[in-house]
Amino acid sequence: MNRRLKNLVLQLLNEHRVMTIATNRRDGWPQATMVGYVNDGFLLYCFVARNAQKYANILRDPRVSIAISSDSPQPRDIKGLSLAARASSVADRDEFDYISALRLKRYPEYAASPPSATTDGVAQRAVPRPSSDNVVLLRIVPEIISVLDYSKAFGHSDLIAFSERDLDLHIESLRHHWAGTTGANAEEQAEE
């Protein structure tokens, strides 16, 4: 695996705190919502209310798509991630507690949140230590990651596969026809 590409994925995961997660509704219509997340290396975690539609969708179909990026005033500065992943709820109490502590480092403002008197799962997500009665911790394991890096070329992305060992298989670099690079020239630039 290209170390630069691996480092860019980790950098983008570490510098953002919000992602868009798309789940599959029962009627087949995709549902995209914004959620706060933390990552432990390449694994992503987010807390969701047990009564949330996205959680019901995941129980039926664990496949999710995720987008992580931010707006940039300069197109050549655009960098982001698009992931195909599988989501599952965390049952292990040690993992739940570990991620709760990790989340407080990422979102220190939650430490000042008073414990919620309500049992509403939405309100429970923002307390320092959510109750697992109303909140589910999702573990999201990437399978395919598309790394957008417009500094290489407008529309450039690298497609990589995630395995149990790590991000280890670079599938291809994509240059779109509007980037002005085609054929062998695109392959040479992709190796840079």
Cβ contacts of 151-157, under 8 Å, gap ≥ 24: 151/76, 151/77, 151/79, 152/189, 152/190, 152/192, 153/179, 153/180, 153/181, 153/189, 154/75, 154/76, 154/178, 154/179, 155/179, 157/82
The structure tokens 């705190």 sit at 17
The structure tokens 């500094």 sit at 151
In this structure, the strands spanning 135-149 and 63-69 are: unpaired
Q: What is the DSSP letter of 114?
A: P
Encoded tokens for 9: 């994925």
pLDDT tens readout for residues 123-175: 444 555 666 778 999 999 999 998 888 877 787 888 888 766 554 444 444 44
Looking at residue 183, its pLDDT comes to 41
Looking at residue 165, its pLDDT comes to 58
Longest dimension (CA), the chain: 62
Q: How many residues does the structure list for the chain?
A: 192
CA dist., res. 141 & res. 45, Å (int): 9
Looking at residue 175, its pLDDT comes to 46
Cβ contacts of 146-149, under 8 Å, gap ≥ 24: 146/81, 146/82, 146/83, 147/5, 147/8, 147/9, 147/12, 147/79, 147/80, 147/81, 148/69, 148/78, 148/79, 148/80, 148/81, 148/82, 149/8, 149/78, 149/79
Name the region of 6 (left: φ>0; alpha: ψ -120 to 50; beta: rest). alpha
Looking at residue 107, its pLDDT comes to 83
Sequential pLDDT tens for the chain (192 residues): 577 888 889 999 999 999 999 999 999 999 999 999 999 988 999 999 999 999 999 999 999 999 999 888 887 778 899 999 999 999 999 999 999 989 988 887 776 665 554 555 444 445 556 667 789 999 999 999 988 888 777 878 888 887 665 544 444 444 444 444 444 444 444 444
Looking at residue 71, its pLDDT comes to 82
Closest CA to 2 of 184, 161, 174, 155: 161
Encoded tokens for 125: 């997500």
